[in-house]
Structure 1
């Protein structure tokens, strides 16, 4: 199942923390807090104006709490596209909206860059995305998702796969193979050489995108879903024990179920 990234609250990331909690107060993970710390938290949660007061965030950060990066359910996220290829933009939005068939988050194009929560570019190297609400802290002149691999010659299944994968990150999901529930016995020299040749990645890029495993205390996760759109294709040659992930071109049954749990349809009275 998906791993949902969280980040420890420290004084160095107050801006990210404020944005994540202002977007969705339950982004704060309180499962491991003591009763004393929960009292401080209750004070914070019932006085949302404290979001502007750094002293109270200092108290929260001392809790060693974590903050998730989910958007508020039932929300329509505005998407701005850099460039002038409207047909390409529409194709991206069409595939991204497949996520919306299984959760309460919708995507809507806007020509107003300043109102967009997500900004899509095509000019940078590679395909990547900021994770969830981290996009709110990015300069509005910059993309929060980039599709450097999309071209008219790219086969349709691969085009769809890239869009679904990166918008999965934009919804707060990380790579499936980085779950702490799986132990990959990597043949690192093989993996470094492969990504250097195919993607031009440095060792640091591979460490971050492939080898990094998230700590159990900083993510929400369940059993690994090898059919997830959030997994990389990993051939058995990448590991000494011949573990692998297949090519996946669409949302798995678990992807659909889990994204609906993260973003349920909220009923308003």
Structure 2
């Protein structure tokens, strides 16, 4: 599992649909890949560029650890989760799944879902102050799909989705009906909200996605509009497949969302975990090596893996000395960044609020 923060427009949420279709009609099963809404992606890209300049002279910790640590919640702290929509029965189920991350021996955080009266915390678009750090919605349409801000980006007022009256995590239409893999989707999204990143972009994973069409492929679609194998059983590549119904992704977006990420300031990369809940299931036909790909699993990952649990405990330790070390480093890092003349007004405001909170 990768422990990270999202200061990057690359952070997308992948969901495989379950539309009925003949097994020999299409290369992969129908997949709709959900990325951030455009406004959130654009804001994250701006923040990433600004931060990449501002952290050049930081000495408090190794360069590649700066971004992951800054956007992490404080170990041992309370992180509130509020909802816009959904009945108590649904929220009961979501609270159980989210809490998988904070069971004993995992992340040392307390997730608070209810107020003092025992009612679930609720947020609305009219809120001017934060009811909760993580604000869950069930929106469809332009703001729909499965997605989540990563870590403390959910309370960055300079980011779309970071304001009190905006969703920071979305579970499209869960309030109407739950998809078959709703537990895995919930675990995955709350993993992002706690600071964990996609495993299939881990550069140590060898996820050999088949981006190009088979040679000679003739673009062919089924009645629903999905690109499928042509009459000679040549397959569409991911650039073609994801560029059509129902994703409509340009080439750059496919690259940003699926290609491995180089070790950089934005990632803390560990050993690849092919059964991580943060790695979504991919059909064998999406890989060059098919079922022999090191990234392929025969079944979808539905629960936290042992490495997920270990990563959560490492990111949010329980030992007082470890907590103090993390907080001390965060404060020193923020101070060094804020001393740079390269920090812009919006970014400076956001970082200063973080430092004030820690002080």
* Correspondence for 2:108: 104
Q: Cα distance, 1:267 vs. partner?
A: 3.8
* Correspondence for 1:251: 304
* Correspondence for 1:67: 67
- Three-state SS of the structure 2 residue aligned to 1:98 is helix
Which residue of 141, 147, 151 corresponds with 1:132? Answer: 151
**TM-score, normalised to structure 1's length?**
0.72
After superposition, the C-alpha distances for 1:55-114 in whole angstroms (9 at most, x for unaligned) are xxxxxxxxx984222110011211110125222122111110111102211211223662
* Correspondence for 1:81: 83
Q: Which runs of 5 or more residues in structure 2 are unaligned?
A: 9-45, 52-58, 114-120, 157-161, 213-236, 322-359
Residues 1:232 and 2:280 are matched in the alignment: yes
Residues 1:141 and 2:165 are matched in the alignment: yes
Name the stretch that deviates more: 202-211 or 242-251: 202-211
**8 Å Cα contact 1:233-1:248 kept in structure 2:** yes
- Three-state SS of the structure 2 residue aligned to 1:72 is coil
* Correspondence for 2:97: 95
**8 Å Cα contact 2:72-2:194 kept in structure 1:** yes
Q: Cα distance, 1:153 vs. partner?
A: 4.8
**TM-score, normalised to structure 2's length?**
0.55
- Three-state SS of the structure 2 residue aligned to 1:67 is helix
* Correspondence for 1:58: none
Q: Which runs of 5 or more residues in structure 1 are unaligned?
A: 18-27, 33-63
Q: Cα distance, 1:141 vs. partner?
A: 1.2
Name the stretch that deviates more: 255-264 or 194-203: 194-203
Counterparts of 1:227 and 1:144, CA distance in 2: 26
Q: Cα distance, 1:195 vs. partner?
A: 4.4
Name the stretch that deviates more: 201-210 or 124-133: 201-210
**8 Å Cα contact 2:203-2:260 kept in structure 1:** no
Counterparts of 2:208 and 2:255, CA distance in 1: 14
Counterparts of 1:199 and 1:92, CA distance in 2: 27
Q: Cα distance, 1:136 vs. partner?
A: 1.0
Which residue of 154, 161, 171 corresponds with 2:179? Answer: 154
- Three-state SS of the structure 2 residue aligned to 1:107 is strand
After superposition, the C-alpha distances for 1:194-221 in whole angstroms (9 at most, x for unaligned) are 5466753523543333225243443212
**8 Å Cα contact 2:2-2:267 kept in structure 1:** no
- Three-state SS of the structure 2 residue aligned to 1:119 is strand
* Correspondence for 1:115: 131
**8 Å Cα contact 2:67-2:267 kept in structure 1:** no
For the aligned residues, what is the CA RMSD?
3.1
Counterparts of 1:234 and 1:195, CA distance in 2: 13
* Correspondence for 1:46: none
**8 Å Cα contact 2:4-2:195 kept in structure 1:** yes
- Three-state SS of the structure 1 residue aligned to 2:179 is coil
Name the stretch that deviates more: 104-113 or 240-249: 104-113
* Correspondence for 1:39: none
- Three-state SS of the structure 1 residue aligned to 2:189 is helix
Which residue of 200, 203, 226 corresponds with 1:177? Answer: 200
**8 Å Cα contact 2:6-2:153 kept in structure 1:** no
Q: Cα distance, 1:31 vs. partner?
A: 1.7
* Correspondence for 2:317: 264
Counterparts of 2:60 and 2:283, CA distance in 1: 35
**8 Å Cα contact 1:232-1:245 kept in structure 2:** no
* Correspondence for 2:247: 200
Which residue of 248, 252, 267 corresponds with 1:219? Answer: 267
